[in-house]
Amino acid sequence: AYEKLWLALSIVLILALIGTVTYGAVGPGVAMVADSQSTVDPGALDEDDRFSEPRVEQVGENEYEAYVVAYQFGFEPTPIVVPANSTVTLHVTSRDVIHGFEVAGTSANAMAVPGEVSEITVETDEPTEYGIVCNEYCGAGHHVMEGKLNVV
């Protein structure tokens, strides 16, 4: 009879552990679910449909596209405002040198490279304000380069 009790207890413990791990992976915030790349003429961002006006666009019921330009020393637009419980694809490029684009405290991370477009798809859940940091050394203002992602 004791063996069965121990077996039952072990199963409960294992299930509790799996529950914790799963919850940790899908917990509140912003989670990166996909990434890809394309290109852009770095000298003609102002004539490019995507980047002439950095912005967030709604493209489906819960789907958004954000066009983000990094520069010495900031991000456009700031803040990037997206709704909770949505899927957002961020298209990130740079107007000058290589920068990083990291949504602090989340798995969302990309490079901002002149001539390249990093495309990362994230899923948002609860309303939260995130800082965006540059994690590539990009010059004298690197340490003050920051943006905001507001999930509303």
In the complex, the residues that contact ligand CUA under the rule CB under 6 A are: 73, 99, 134, 136-138, 142, 145
Nearest to ligand CUA of 92, 134 (CB atom)? 134
- The β-bridge relationship of strands 116-124 and 30-39 is antiparallel
Instruction: Give the C-alpha distances (Å, rounded to integers) separating 72 from 12, 103, 148, 150.
Output: 53, 18, 16, 22
Q: Give the nearest distance from C-beta 133 to ligand CUA in angstroms.
A: 8
Write the DSSP symbol of residue 13: H
Question: Min. distance of Cβ 42 from ligand CUA in angstroms?
Answer: 15
Residue placing its CB nearer to ligand CUA in the complex, 73 or 79: 73
Task: Report the nearest approach of ligand CUA to the CB of residue 76 (Å).
Answer: 13
Among residues 126, 98, 95, the alpha carbon closest in space to that of 110 is found at 98
Q: Which CB atom, from 112 or from 151, has the smaller least distance to ligand CUA?
A: 112
What minimum distance in Å lies between the beta carbon of 136 and ligand CUA? 5
Structural tokens at position 34? 């996909």
In the bound state with ligand CUA, the residue whose beta carbon lies nearer, of 86 and 135, is 135
Distance, CA of 87 to CA of 100 (rounded, Å) = 21
Neighbours of 50 (CB within 10 A): 18
